[in-house]
Structure 1
Amino acid sequence: MNRWTGRVALVTGASVGIGAAVCRALVAHGMKVVGAARNVDKIQALADELKDHPGSLMAVRCDVSKDADIMDMFADIKRMHGGVDACINNAGISYSQNLLEGTPDQWREMMNVNVVGLCLCTREAVASMRARGVDDGQIIHVNTMSGHRVIPSNASYFYAASKFAVTAVTEGLRQELRELKTNIRVAGISPGVVETDFHIHLKGDVEARKLYESMECIQPKDMADSIVHILSAPKHVQIHDILLRPTQQPL
């Protein structure tokens, strides 16, 4: 990770869970981290906690479902730090309604956050890297096992569709970057059950706790460790996708 010291990483969905753990890990490795979320209070509290660490954390308000928020965020990053060297697209959303009961507004929001916002952040990050001659930058999409298989759960079908799109986008971007003859890389990381607030929002506290107690779940730090592993790979190594399940998870 030595080559990343002092360089700039953007982490979306940075206020809690995986995003907060990634911010913590990258700051520990001396990176200048921009943490983005709709609610910046928790990111600012984390920034205050990490102020004596080797790197730094800057909180930026951004709703990745809104194009203008993303463009404003990248303008702020350019003004404050010059640009982005690594972009970790972690923001994601799901609703518990099945396909036959869901609403177009819910579907659009999932696509806007999980796919369109991810693509726009990626486009702007790569543009920032190329404009500054950064040839070893890194894009990381936080995907999910539901981007690779469909389990029999009514509440996950449209969410899975959005994440299958992320899987396709990851491979498409790899091919585009290769055609550009750049060493900027893209990777996905696709976890199974991670013990965060995600399933609490999706299933409610009682059902989420039952799920978390049914196995030894992946922890946000486990995800952060895998992201550090991706960043640590030499530039001739393309880590394309890490599939990360709890050992006891059946699917």
Structure 2
Amino acid sequence: MDRWKGRVALVTGASVGIGATIAKELVRYGMTVVGCARSLDKIQALAAECKSAGHSGVLIPMKCDLTNAEDIQSMFAAIKAQHKGVDVCINNAGLAHPESLLSGKTSAWKNMLDVRTHCGSEILMRHCFEAFRDNHNCVVLFSLQSISPGLVETEFAYRLHSKTPGKAKETYSQLKPLEAIDVANAVVYVLSAPPHVQIGEMLLRPVEQQA
């Protein structure tokens, strides 16, 4: 990870769960991490935690709603002005609503898709590619990796089943799930690969998970 020290990483959904853990690990390895989310309180607390722990990198909280194209554009403009671009983009943000595909509310599905595909991912990645192109010090240009974890114990299920917390607890009690640090370690593994090696896809599953 030495070649990434001082370089800039953008981590979306960095306020809790997998995103927060990835951001913390990259800071520990000396990266300048821009952590974005709709709310800054938890990222600010995490930034203070990283600083007090003496990590060699720094976590910079930035507010951004990934369903809002103007928010994404403003965020990248700020990153370019303050840090001259992005070297690594971890597109982690996501959410879910307890709505079935056939009978669920269209607005809920639109919100989920806006974050993960239509607005969040498409516009975010376009700006990332522009940042990579403009950043002449970038080590790896246009290198894409996909890390697909199975069941990970985070706040995700508790938010999804906020009205029925017992159901969320049951989700994680049926087997030994992955932990956020497992996914963060996978990110570090990908970044630690030699420059001539590209890891295109990584699938992580708890041993007991059947599907």
TM-score scaled by length of structure 1: 0.79
2:13 aligned with 1:10: no
Q: Distance in 1 between matches of 2:103 and 2:158?
A: 20
Query: SS in structure 1 opposite 2:176?
Result: coil
2:195 aligned with 1:193: no
* 1:94 CA drift (Å): 1.4
Spell out, residue by residue over 1:159-216, the C-alpha distance to the aligned partner (whole angstroms, 9 max, x if none).
xxxxxxxxxxxxxxxxxxxxxxxx4310011111100111112233211211211111
Corresponding residue for residue 224 of structure 1:
184
Q: Distance in 2 between matches of 1:98 and 1:107?
A: 9
* 1:97 CA drift (Å): 1.2
2:173 aligned with 1:207: no
The sequence identity of aligned pairs, in percent, is: 46
Q: Which has the higher contact order (CA 8 A, sep 6+)?
A: 2
RMSD: 1.2
- The runs of 5 or more residues in structure 1 that have no matched partner are 138-182
Corresponding residue for residue 41 of structure 1:
41
Corresponding residue for residue 166 of structure 1:
none
Residues paired across the two proteins, number: 206
Letter in 2 for 1:130: R
* 1:235 CA drift (Å): 2.1
Corresponding residue for residue 184 of structure 1:
142
Letter in 1 for 2:194: P
Query: SS in structure 2 opposite 1:53?
Result: coil
Corresponding residue for residue 172 of structure 1:
none
* 1:134 CA drift (Å): 4.2
Residue of 192, 199, 202 corresponding to 1:239: 199
2:139 aligned with 1:136: yes
Corresponding residue for residue 129 of structure 2:
126
TM-score scaled by length of structure 2: 0.94
The ranges of structure 1 where at least 4 consecutive aligned residues each deviate by more than 3 angstroms after the TM superposition are none
* 1:238 CA drift (Å): 1.6
Instruction: Please say if residues 136 and 184 of structure 1, whose CA atoms lie closer than 8 Å, have aligned partners that are also in contact.
Output: no
